[in-house]
Amino acid sequence: MQVQVKLYGTLGKQVPGYDHRQGLAVEVAEGANVADLMARIGVPLKKIGMVSLDGRLAGREASLQANMLVKVFHPIFGG
Amino acid sequence: MKLIKVDLTAKTIQTEDLPSAYEGLGGRALTSNYINDHVPAGCDPLGPENLLIFAPGYFSGTPLVNTSRLSVGAKSPLTGGIKESNVGGTAAAALANLGISALVVEGQAPEGESWLLKIDAQGQVALLDGADCRGLRTYALAEKLLAAHGPKNNITCIGPAGEDLLSAASIQTTDLDDHPCRAAGRGGLGAVMGSKGLKALIVSRSGKAADPLADPAAFKAAAKAYAQAVKADEFSGEILPELGSACLVEAINEVGAFPTRNAREGQFEDADKISGEAMARIIRERGGKTTHKGCAQCIIDCSNEYVDADGKYVTSSLEYETIWSMGGMIGNGDLDAIARLDFLCDDIGLDTISTGVAIAVAMDAGYKSFGDAQAAIAMVEEVAQGTAFGKIIGSGPAAVGKHFNHERVPVMKGQSMAAYDPRAIQGMAVTYATSPMGGDHTAGWVVDQNLEAFGGTLDRFSAEGQVEASRNTQIHMAAVDTVGICDFAQSGLAAEGGMDNVYRMVAAKSGQPFGEDDWQALGLRVLKAERAFNRRAGFTAADDHLPRMFYEEPLPPHNKVVVISPEELENTFDF
């Protein structure tokens, strides 16, 4: 199945040729989870602050569904 | 460790050693304790009894990186309580390198007079007639003063909003490019400066009389380790240089905490047009600057220079809070218009947060439509023109709500909240409600605990742990604002051994032992002074509450309200 992936901050640098306006279309196995997807596209989990699946925050083990929009964010700090 | 007192009533200048009661203090601890000790809490904030204090952080003027924070304090005309607003740029380093711990402005010049305060490279202080500067906007003023007094000066000044005594008026200060684009924005301190009759400070950046360090070798060793940690951290070492604080837009919007259209919604449909990623791309395509150094001794370079389609300077630095207040909060997805509004606020001398939220309240009340960027620009221009409505906008969101008899005003102690809706990140409800500053995100930013590690170590929709998190962060931040470390260089604190490095540096500067308990005591001393002042000014437990809208209106898309009760908020501090 395929999912759409958007990488925020400087995470796009982990994926050669990443274009933020396009995002990525990634093929993953049925039953794959967030951690599997990150391993597939080469983004280390330690570089990630949060992930959303179709607008809902999700953990590393959350299962993916076909055509989901997966947004991947860096850790944040601020004020 | 000099304390300079300038009396605008008598036109006298007095330089003395910093009184022993304030030894070891800088920044917010110095401004807040001095105000608590010397300002009658019931005084008119725009009258002669109020004091305006400028104090560099305790580490300003030392070899430590990212210590160019200048605290400005007074009784606030916006909140009626104590205020500390801090700002970067070049002012803190300039004052600290002259050995100046605090500059206290007292009294009041007769109405219509305008004065400049000049401190030269030898530390000589003089009041100069500033009549020919009256009414000038800040960019023209900085250019005129730097041409007249030489380029190696910092200019810290007010624009027309401060001269008009408007309670959303900022104090602007110059960055490393001599643009007056750095703001001590919150609390209307520009109006206090205006009420004194003081238009600008001109402070030499060539001072060589910084306070000595008791143990320079120990200080430098800890400072070096601290700087390495700031560089090594991914957020301060890589993300901030590339995107600046605007990197927060997409993340906060995604979790539904990006207050949109006067906080009627928590997500803005055009967030991707005003995001850090979009901003960085536009700046690069047009030949502007990301990875720009705005403040003295900065090694992060989170600043940027936003340019128009012809590559011409528009503003510096476009940051998260302004992108929110002039973007999502007013329903505006046009980044060029946001940049224009940012420039106008800097030039007129207005807090971008209070002004954006004031516009949002006006739009919410039906004065103009959400998303009408040209109307927003016209409203800000009206402030400079001094029209009746411009004066209302320049007085902040509560004044606008009163004018339209409109109840949906997201302020705490009269000051607007910032770019994190407390219904989607409950801990921010505690900080906004209980900070002695009023609605203020930097006073206790608990967003990370609520979002980190794939969704937060705290449940962001639950009350559990939020009061404690906010309390601890507020105490910690009061100490951070005292030593004057930039918020974004806190990665150096968070690194392994980072706090120990800070304790070592305090000890190495003061010559006195300093540890974890002292850090906690320092933060508490600040908050206790601030809360004591506010109580004397008439604040009660009810002033640590939130407006009803946060309890009564569920925030889409998660449709949550604040679940932390007023009683829990009241119990955040037991002093």
Cis before B557 (ω within 30): yes
pLDDT given for residue B3 in this prediction: 98
Give SS3 for B113: coil
B251, B277, B490 ranked by CB distance to A76: nearest: B251
Give SS3 for B225: helix
Residues of A in contact with B453 (CB under 8 A): 49
pLDDT digits (tens, 9 = 90+) for B524-533: 999 999 999 9
Residues B253-275: what's their mean pLDDT?
Answer: 98
Task: In whole angstroms, give the CA distance from residue B549 to residue B410.
Answer: 8
B239, B281, B494 ranked by CB distance to A10: nearest: B239
Task: In whole angstroms, give the CA distance from residue B64 to residue B57.
Answer: 11
Task: In whole angstroms, give the CA distance from residue B353 to residue B373.
Answer: 16
pLDDT given for residue B257 in this prediction: 98
pLDDT digits (tens, 9 = 90+) for B424-452: 999 999 999 999 999 999 999 999 999 99
Task: In whole angstroms, give the CA distance from residue B310 to residue B292.
Answer: 19
Q: Do B235 and A74 touch (CB under 8 A)?
A: yes
Give SS3 for B173: strand
pLDDT digits (tens, 9 = 90+) for B490-507: 999 999 999 999 999 999
Render B431-455 in DSSP notation, one character per residue. HHHH-TTSS-STTS--HHHHHHHHH
Q: Do B238 and A73 touch (CB under 8 A)?
A: no
pLDDT at A28 over 90: yes
Task: Provide CB contacts within 8 A for B472, sequence distance 6+.
Answer: none
- What is the arrangement of strands in the sheet containing A69-73, beginning at the earlier edge strand? A24-27, A2-7, A69-73, A50-53, A56-58
Average pLDDT along chain B: 98
Measure the N-to-C terminal CA separation of chain A; round to a whole number of Å.
40
Strands A69-73 and A2-7: parallel
pLDDT at A78 over 80: no
Per DSSP, helices labelled H in B117-272 are 138-149, 160-163, 189-196, 216-232, 234, 240-243, 248-254
What percentage of chain B reaches a pLDDT higher than 90?
99
Task: With beta carbons less than 8 A apart as the criterion, state whether B296 and B175 touch.
Answer: no
Using the structure block, give the residue that is written with the tokens 């409950």.
Answer: B426
Task: With beta carbons less than 8 A apart as the criterion, state whether B479 and B519 touch.
Answer: yes
Task: In whole angstroms, give the CA distance from residue B123 to residue B93.
Answer: 14
pLDDT given for residue B278 in this prediction: 97
Mutation choice for B interface testing from A38, A70, A77 by most B CBs within 10 A: A77
ipTM of the complex: 0.97
pLDDT given for residue B102 in this prediction: 98
Q: At what angle do helices B516-536 and B498-510 cross, to 10 degrees?
A: 80
Render B228-240 in DSSP notation, one character per residue. HHHHHSHIIIIIH
Residues of A in contact with B491 (CB under 8 A): 77
Average pLDDT along chain A: 95
User: Model's pTM, two decimal places?
Assistant: 0.98
Task: Provide CB contacts within 8 A for B564, sequence distance 6+.
Answer: B426, B429, B430, B463, B466, B467
Query: What are the φ and ψ backbone dihedral angles of B282, each rounded to 5 degrees?
Result: -60, -45
Task: With beta carbons less than 8 A apart as the criterion, state whether B416 and B440 touch.
Answer: no
Residues of B in contact with A60 (CB under 8 A): 454
On whether any CB of chain B is under 8 Å from the CB of A58, the answer is yes
Q: Do A10 and B242 touch (CB under 8 A)?
A: yes
pLDDT at B269 over 70: yes
pLDDT digits (tens, 9 = 90+) for B101-158: 999 999 999 999 999 999 999 999 999 999 999 999 999 999 999 999 999 999 999 9
On whether any CB of chain B is under 8 Å from the CB of A40, the answer is no
Q: Do B488 and A78 touch (CB under 8 A)?
A: yes
Nearest to A37 by CA among A10, A58, A9: A58
pLDDT digits (tens, 9 = 90+) for B41-81: 999 999 999 999 999 999 999 999 999 999 999 999 999 99
Residues A28-36: what's their mean pLDDT?
Answer: 97
- Confidence band, pLDDT 50/70/90 cuts, at residue B388: very high
pLDDT digits (tens, 9 = 90+) for B515-574: 999 999 999 999 999 999 999 999 999 999 999 999 999 999 999 999 999 999 999 999
What percentage of chain B reaches a pLDDT higher than 70?
100
- Confidence band, pLDDT 50/70/90 cuts, at residue B358: very high
Q: Do A50 and B255 touch (CB under 8 A)?
A: yes
Residues of B in contact with A35 (CB under 8 A): none
- Confidence band, pLDDT 50/70/90 cuts, at residue A79: low
Task: With beta carbons less than 8 A apart as the criterion, state whether B286 and B309 touch.
Answer: yes
Q: Do B487 and A50 touch (CB under 8 A)?
A: no
Measure the N-to-C terminal CA separation of chain B; round to a whole number of Å.
31
Nearest to A74 by CA among B49, B453, B109: B453
Strand partners, B115: B129, B198
Per DSSP, helices labelled H in B7-77 are 27-38
Nearest to B159 by CA among B357, B380, B334, B340: B380
pLDDT at B508 over 80: yes
